[in-house]
Amino acid sequence: MRTSSKRLRLAVFALFSALTTGVAQADLWVFATVPEWGALAREIGGDKVTVYNATHALQDPHRIEAKPSLLAQARRADLVVAAGADLEVGWLPLVQRDSGNTGIQTGKPGYFEAAMQVNRLDVPTVLDRAHGDVHAAGNPHVHLDPRNVLKIGEALSKRMAELDSANAAAYQSGYKAFADRWQSAIARWEKEAAPLKGLGVLVHHQSFVYLTHWLGLRELGTLEPKPGIEPTSSHLGSLLSRQRVTPAKMVLRAAYNADGPSQWIAGKAGMSAVMLPYTVGGTAEAKDLTGLFDDTVQRLLKAAR
Amino acid sequence: MHKPFAVAALLAASCGAQAASDADLAAIRAQIDDMKKTYEQRIASLEKKLAEAEAQGKSAPRVAPAATAPVAVQTAAPVAASTASVASATRASGFNPEVSLILQGQYKNMKNVAERGITGFVPAGGHDHGNGIEGISKRGFSIDHTELVLAANIDPYWRGQAILAMLDGEVEVEEAWFQSLGIGAGIGLRGGRFRSGIGYLNEQHPHMWDFADAPLMYRAMFGDHASFIQDGVQLKWVAPTPFFLEFGAEAGRGHTFPGTDLNKNGSGAAAMFAHLGSDVGISNSWRAGVSYLTTKAKEREAHFEDTAGVEALGKYSGNSATWLADFVWKWAPNGNPKYQNFKLQGEYFNRQEKGDLLCEDADTLNPTTCTGGVGSAYRTRQSGWYAQGVYQFTPNWRAGLRYEQLDSGTRDFGANNANLVVDSYKPKKATAMVDYSWSEFSRVRLQFAQDKSMFGITDNQVTLQYIMSLGAHGAHKF
């Protein structure tokens, strides 16, 4: 009698603790808002982390909704890795607050913003929506400069170690191994992409500014008349007339952008329209971070030929 | 500073093509402007960084800047400290709440009906005369409430938000609440005045609606605001499950329709709700919910018609219990709603009221069958539903259809059945809309509706509506 009531009490306690803490005890549960940071967390954490990617490469990261599934995942996360710089302003603040998870609130160690770890480009001097959907903290697509990935990885590995001190050494060595591989990969990409230097390009959205900055490509215009506003025929027409003076060699778009506008202008101007994976999963080749840059560089080189 | 660029570019262009056409010149100018802009921005950000670095050097113990709160935690990493760069954030005004303003108005063509209501349903507005229900019955040009939204984190533990609605010399506090950030274990606490978590549309403000007006069902349930607003507390719990499961409970004053202000201790209205939701593949997501609201009314006034067609005043005292079921399904190819998406949404309600009715003359000069006051039992059971689909077929255009039907159901006024006209009717309405959005901050909508919510009247309504949102516009719920 006594033992059974004890057993019952134990079972109730076990059930309660399972309900309140979830099964997140074994690993560090990482909620990545975009695939690139999910991939980075996996590189650093290996089998010590469980990573959930809130979005995938075919979704425009600016247009995500606070879906019920995201709330459920955020509720159980130990660490939210966001791009930051207002990229997720349309959904993440709501998911953080409504998740009832105090650890992932802004200002807590469980909330990490990648863009805040590096120098950002395109920081607007004037904040006015007349300029379109501008980001006050600068361009948030920082991951397309691999040197940024390294800096962010360093900060992220420290944060992971802080949250999960039992595995701190694993995160440290995970980052070190990644950094070694990454540094030699950067050298390789820079060498391979050397012929691209000075090449003029058009872009669909300002999502490649860090990439063009890194490789020395010259951005000659965006198909969107203003950030976040879909290309209009009059704007494409003006880009086309500019093409005669300062010809661009190719037009870049992300896997999630519609292909119509870049195909149109490429056809008219006789240049190549290049679809870049933009993030992990954007193409079959971009299986991980290394694949992302391998494929990006290869696609650019192929179009430049 | 930018002159050398301009000169160089002009020079290069003029050398390359001797006879530069106007189009070429325009193109060059455009490019120079672009260059200027980029360089100005880069220089400005560099200047900012320089100023910051100097400031940091002077005052050694650095105060965490407001807008870059996450960075404050990250100061462990040396990289982060050097890149925390929003100069304005160091000013006290950086703590100002996020401010946004909603502008909304319309042009409306419809029949001139003196007192708009829904046949077979007690009007939530009580006994308003003349103008009928405000906003719904205005023909021609009109503006809706202008909503001012102020929101901010109060401290690490709480967040607050106020929504003030302004129109014609009155300011209404639509919402004013605080919400917990620091409880954890999936628990969320909210207190103050807020839109109740029951149903699906109840929490949404008019600027988020997919049609120019609320479904009849919400107007029948809660009146002009088309939302049940609580002055009270709400407790929510999100279960730690791989799918979304949430439970919520509320206790509040319950002073709004279908309840009345009770002047008593304790709570006047209680609500409970449960939500379940998940994804199906990468292209679909859904949420379903059930809710229950119970509230009390004391001498809730409404106009009735007596058997001779004279207006009588009925005062209801008793309970009001409402069940709601809601369902939303959203589809977007590959889960990317930017270019195309579809939203299917439906809700059902069932309300039961049990209590007493006191029937009196509405006007002492027009005696009714109730003159002197006739008390009776009062029992109603009413229901209704709507279903709507909205398809966004390009980044800017959406089109939608909505169909709705109510059922006046059982209405038993006991002894007063002999004195009052007891309408039995099934109000119906069909609506079609198309809207255009220049960006996510501006929208214009054209809507056609055939409204048969009043017995014997088929009202064909045309609405041309605009919705503009200014400033820091927060995230919307699913």
Quick check: helix, strand or coil at residue A201? strand
Q: Indicate the residue of B179, B285, B474 with minimum beta-carbon distance to A69.
A: B285
Best residue of B21, B74, B245, B345 to probe chain A, by most A CBs closer than 10 Å? B74
Q: Indicate the residue of B17, B27, B441 with minimum beta-carbon distance to A241.
A: B27
- Span A289-304, mean pLDDT? 94
pLDDT tens figures, B84-111? 444 444 567 778 899 999 999 999 999 9
Whether A191 has its CB under 8 Å from any CB of chain B: the answer is no
Question: Any idea which residue has 């609440």 for tokens?
Answer: B177
Pairing between β-strand B397-412 and β-strand B244-252 as defined by DSSP bridges? unpaired
Position A156 pLDDT exceeds 80: yes
Query: Is there a contact between A61 and A87 (Cβ–Cβ < 8 Å)?
Result: yes
Instruction: State whether A100 and B245 contact (CB < 8 Å).
Output: no
| Closest CA relative to residue A48, chosen from A135, A165, A142 | A165
Q: Write out chain B residues lying below 8 Å of A108, CB-based.
A: 73, 156
Q: Indicate the residue of A98, A101, A125 with minimum beta-carbon distance to B184.
A: A101
Task: Chain B: give the shortest CA distance to residue A244, in Å.
Answer: 8
Best residue of B181, B194, B208, B343 to probe chain A, by most A CBs closer than 10 Å? B181
Instruction: State whether B27 and A242 contact (CB < 8 Å).
Output: yes
Quote the mean pLDDT of chain B.
84
Whether B1 has its CB under 8 Å from any CB of chain A: the answer is no
Q: Indicate the residue of B69, B76, B240 with minimum beta-carbon distance to A158.
A: B76
Position A51 pLDDT exceeds 70: yes
Q: List the Cα angle A258/A252/A115 in 5-degree steps.
A: 95
Q: Indicate the residue of B278, B336, B395 with minimum beta-carbon distance to A230.
A: B395
pLDDT tens figures, A159-202? 999 999 999 999 999 999 999 999 999 999 999 999 999 999 99
Instruction: State whether B439 and A132 contact (CB < 8 Å).
Output: yes
Whether B188 has its CB under 8 Å from any CB of chain A: the answer is yes
Q: Indicate the residue of B30, B179, B277 with minimum beta-carbon distance to A97.
A: B179
CATH 3.40.1410.10, applies to B102-471: no
A-contacting residues in B 313-332 (Cβ below 8 Å): 330
Instruction: State whether A107 and B73 contact (CB < 8 Å).
Output: yes
Task: Chain B: give the shortest CA distance to residue A223, in Å.
Answer: 14
Q: Write out chain A residues lying below 8 Å of B83, CB-based.
A: 116-120
Task: Please indicate whether the domains covering A24-188 and A193-304 agree at the CATH topology level.
Answer: yes
Nearest CA in chain A to B237: A100
Instruction: State whether B246 and A242 contact (CB < 8 Å).
Output: no
B-contacting residues in A 92-121 (Cβ below 8 Å): 92-94, 97-103, 105-109, 111-113, 116-121
Instruction: State whether A116 and B337 contact (CB < 8 Å).
Output: no
Block means of pLDDT (10 residues each) for chain B, length 478 residues?
45 42 63 68 68 52 37 35 44 83 94 85 62 61 92 93 91 95 94 96 94 94 90 96 96 92 91 96 95 95 88 92 97 92 97 94 86 91 97 95 96 90 92 94 96 93 95 84
**CB neighbourhood size of B168 (10 A):** 7
- Interface size A-B, in CB pairs within 8 Å, comes to 209
User: Class for domain A24-188, per CATH?
Assistant: alpha beta
Q: Write out chain B residues lying below 8 Å of A121, CB-based.
A: 42
Whether A130 has its CB under 8 Å from any CB of chain B: the answer is no
Query: In this predicted complex, what is the ipTM?
Result: 0.84
Nearest CA in chain B to A259: B339
- DSSP annotation of A287 reads S
* Dihedral (CA of A236, A263, B435, B218) sign: negative
| Closest CA relative to residue A203, chosen from B34, B44, B341, B12 | B34
* CATH-assigned architecture of domain A193-304: 3-Layer(aba) Sandwich (3.40)
Q: Indicate the residue of A60, A98, A100 with minimum beta-carbon distance to B185.
A: A100
Q: Write out chain B residues lying below 8 Å of A247, CB-based.
A: none
pLDDT tens figures, A31-41? 999 999 999 99
Q: Write out chain B residues lying below 8 Å of A135, CB-based.
A: none
A-contacting residues in B 370-429 (Cβ below 8 Å): 395-396
Task: Chain B: give the shortest CA distance to residue A80, in Å.
Answer: 12
- Span A71-92, mean pLDDT? 94
> Residues in chain A, how many?
305
- To the nearest whole percent, how much of chain B has pLDDT over 70? 78
Write out chain B in H/E/C secondary structure. Answer: CCHHHHHHHHHHHHHHCCCCCHHHHHHHHHHHHHHHHHHHHHHHHHHHHHHHHHHHHHCCCCCCCCCCHHHHHHHHCHHHHHHCCCHHHHCHHHHCCEEEEEEEEEEEECCCCCCCCCCCCCCCCCCCCCCCCCCCCCCEEEECCEEEEEEEEEECCEEEEEEEEEECCEEEEEEEEEEECCCECCEEEEEEEEECCCCCHHHCCHHHCCCCCCCHHHHHHHCCCCCCEEEEEEEEEECCCCCEEEEEEEEECCCCCCCCCCCCCCCCEEEEEEEEEEEECCCEEEEEEEEEEEEEEEEEEEEEEECCCCEEEEEEEEEEEEEEEEEEEEECHHHCCCCCEEEEEEEEEEEEEEEEEEEEECCCCCCCCCCCCEEEEEEEEEEEEEEEEEEECCCCEEEEEEEEEEEEEEEECHHHHHCECCCCCCCEEEEEEEEEEEECCEEEEEEEEEEECCCCCCEEEEEEEEEEEEECCCCCEC
- To the nearest whole percent, how much of chain A has pLDDT over 70? 91
Nearest CA in chain B to A155: B77
Residue intervals of chain B classified under CATH 2.40.160.10 are: 102-471
Q: Write out chain A residues lying below 8 Å of B33, CB-based.
A: none
Nearest CA in chain A to B152: A93
User: What pLDDT shows up at residue A54?
Assistant: 95
pLDDT tens figures, A216-257? 999 999 999 988 888 988 999 999 888 888 889 999 999 999
Please report, for chain A, the start and end positions of each structural domain, with discontinuous segments joined by +. Answer: 24-188, 193-304
Whether B350 has its CB under 8 Å from any CB of chain A: the answer is no
Q: Indicate the residue of B70, B86, B338 with minimum beta-carbon distance to A111.
A: B70
Whether A222 has its CB under 8 Å from any CB of chain B: the answer is no
